[in-house]
Amino acid sequence: MDLTSLNEKQKEAVVAPMGPILLLAGPGSGKTKTLTSRIAYIIEKKMVAPEHILSLTFTNKAAKQMRERVSKLLVKNKTAVDSLTMGTFHSVCAKILRHEITALGYGSGFVIFDKDDQQKTIKEILEDLRIDSKKLPASMFGALISRGKNLLQTPDELNLGLESPLRERLAEVYTRYQDAMYKQNALDFDDLLMLTVKIFQNFPEVLKKYQKKFTYILVDEYQDTNQAQYLLLSLLAVSRDIFVVGDDAQSIYKFRGSDITNILNFEKDYPESLVIKLEQNYRSTKNILEAAQKVIELNPEQKLKVLWTENPQGEKIVLTCEQDERGEAEFVARTIVKLASPAKTEVEYEPEEGEPPKRGYSILDRFIMAKKMQARMSTNFSGGGILPQLPKTHEALTEYCILYRTHAQSRAIEEALIESSIPYQIVGGLKFYERKEIKDILGYLRLVVNYRDLVSLKRVINEPARGLGDKSYAVIRDFILNFHQSGLDAGTSDKQTNLKNRNSDSPTLRLSDFRTAFAEVKLQPKAFIAAQEFFAALEALADFNSQSTLPELMTKIVRRTGYERSVKDGSEKGESRWENVEELINVAHKFKNLPWAKALQEFLEEVALLAEIDQKDDARDVVTLMTLHSAKGLEFDNVFFVGLEEGILPHSRSLINPDELSEEVRLAYVGLTRARKRLYLVYTVNRRVFGNLQVNTPSRILKVLPKDNMEYKGLAKDHFKEDDGELSVEPMDY
């Protein structure tokens, strides 16, 4: 195996002896290259069978990239990569549960609920309990239940430091929620981890099987693991052959349950461990790297790394202060046009005599003024707007990224980008798989797998319209739940038989049993006929030719259910919706070589477990907008980091909590280290927060940046003064 492309520290990690290893890898230090080289090395040189290797990460995109890299490295044994178990924690646990979950009474054909499905289930529970969802919203209960599950706490064990009566209410909602999920044969994301751990803890023979199977474990982004993931790894790594890669300086997901102590205490958990640091950065210029190093040094508790690079010093970091969020957005748009335009031309709008200033005008007013400007000026720009326009021929926009603390900050930026004709995508906004028509088709697919999925049933039972409203749905829902419960409440032998039947991998068997019993349901004649036809359609779909493909099944669904006719209503909106349906069918073609039943299961799992970053479209020539939390693992030539004010970053919630403040510092560090060549930092004097105009103070993050690395623009030139060779921030006087 050729190791010549590795630096000395990377090579040390790759060829290290077996046993526990902690690889502390700074941003842009080649951790993925090192991790994948380690996998290839232990297969080729340590003779570890690939089927005994478990490699875990946090996004499908990362898992795919790692698999491709390992395949390229295994020159002599390219097929070995097919035997690797490689994926996200959630996807691997989902596969384990497909084989083992019947031990807990669930069916192997369970569906995976996303956050939207979870919220709908909790809302129904709140209505039943007469809990005011305005005062105690479903999202709050969902977040608290998720926290409890990450800590592996059942409703009886729940201890989140809450005071009564909220604690009692939460325990009641949590209990009902888990009961509802069980009756629907459904799991949420957190269940995938919690139930896998539960099976390992309660069924030693199952645990021993997987300990024997996974004798060598590798984990990427170890700093992001939560309590459930930590315990899962502790149970599996009985051989203590565990290789973890991470960076405590990039631990930014505490709100999702990640626990930084997992990486900080690795050497305590494994006293015999080898610790290797990757400190050479291949991504950023010296100016950017030195600034990031100063920021992370604000945190006292860390595994110290001193990043360095052989890259050029690079352009100075631009720090600018604008009057408000509109000025911030205009600065970003204007700079992108200037950088991306071949001629590097910048066009400014000049008001006519007696014309008021531009600021504060509506989009229509701005458009009118833009047309006046166009009439007065001859330019190479296409379109209108008071901002300079992006020319039709421009440099690629894929290397431009705008980072912010929260999605709410994107509004003004989006307006400015639109005015400048700059195409963009928002990572974490409305995603393809959240569009109505897509969720409808996915709902039908999930019902083919599991007719007890009440969230999907409610979504599509009257889509398209069949005369089955809320009252009909309530009757059908209760009948389904009672039908399932009758099997559970039977005598022991009957219960086992019923469970076996109900949990069968054959959707046809489940639906045929249900359809026979459905003749007893109490519905109005028209509604009864419509419901019968609906479930007959599902049964026909579930009885699809076993040799047929998933795309063929999806085509049959949209036709058999009348969905195609409903969507293609002749309108422009209908045409657009149908194009989305066709795109979904196109996505399914990647599974076309598998029998439809297996393909459907894998397809639904992949869609359910997509992370935000997995939906980033790298093929389009667009600027990317995203939150700092979504940006980890990515890099761009040009990064605009906006909203650098006290109360935004660091967030106001963190200012009284040292642990949360430390995480905000790490979040800023992640933002800075996304940039390769150019970095623009922006803060404002005024910003509207919850409709109120507030005066801002520059973020404390800005005060530690090395002055020799900086170029100050806008109002920042006045705010940041040099005094006796030291950079200090002058108080703002407005």
* Active site annotation includes 485: no
Q: Mean pLDDT lowest for which of 62-71, 334-343, 358-367, 553-562?
A: 358-367
pLDDT of amino acid 55: 97
Q: Mean pLDDT lowest for which of 75-84, 181-190, 201-210, 559-568?
A: 75-84
**pLDDT category of residue 361 using cuts at 50, 70 and 90:** very low
Q: Which residues of 618-627 are buried (b: 16+ CB within 10 A; e: fewer)?
A: eeeebbbbbb
Q: Which of 225, 229, 250, 624 is catalytic?
A: 250
| pLDDT higher than threshold 70 for residue 138 | yes
pLDDT of amino acid 594: 87
- Burial label for 148, CB within 10 Å (0-12, 13-18, 19+), is buried
Average pLDDT of every residue of the chain: 86
Smallest CA-to-CA distance from 232 within 195, 260, 203 is with 195
Q: Which of 459, 616, 674, 677 is catalytic?
A: 674
| pLDDT higher than threshold 70 for residue 455 | yes
**pLDDT category of residue 287 using cuts at 50, 70 and 90:** very high
Q: Which of 188, 191, 220, 440 is catalytic?
A: 220
pLDDT of amino acid 166: 84
* Active site annotation includes 477: no
pLDDT of amino acid 504: 45
What are 98-121's pLDDT values in tens digits? Answer: 999 999 999 988 999 988 899 999
Note whether 224 and 247 are within 8 A (CB): no
Positive or negative CA dihedral for 433, 435, 438, 439?
A: positive
The winner for highest mean pLDDT among 132-136, 321-325, 384-388 is: 321-325
270 to each of 20, 60, 239, 267, how far by Cα in Å?
A: 7, 29, 12, 5
| pLDDT higher than threshold 90 for residue 516 | no
* Active site annotation includes 61: no
* Whole-prediction pTM: 0.82
Smallest CA-to-CA distance from 337 within 278, 424, 431 is with 424
Q: Which of 12, 32, 167, 477 is catalytic?
A: 32
Higher pLDDT, 362 or 617: 617
pLDDT of amino acid 383: 34
Tokens of 178: 């888990």
pLDDT of amino acid 598: 87
pLDDT of amino acid 690: 60
Q: Which residues contact 459 (CB under 8 A, 6 or more apart)?
A: 439, 440, 443
* Active site annotation includes 694: no
Q: Indicate the length of the chain as a whole number.
A: 734
* Active site annotation includes 279: no
pLDDT of amino acid 368: 43
Higher pLDDT, 304 or 290: 290
What are 225-262's pLDDT values in tens digits? Answer: 999 999 999 999 999 999 999 999 999 999 888 999 99
* Active site annotation includes 32: yes
Q: Which of 100, 114, 221, 247 is catalytic?
A: 221
| pLDDT higher than threshold 80 for residue 93 | yes
Note whether 477 and 454 are within 8 A (CB): yes
Q: Which amino acid is at 30?
A: G
> Per-residue DSSP letters for 566-605?
HH-SSSHHHHHHHHHHHHHHHHHGGGTTS-HHHHHHHHHH
Q: Which of 31, 616, 687, 700 is catalytic?
A: 31
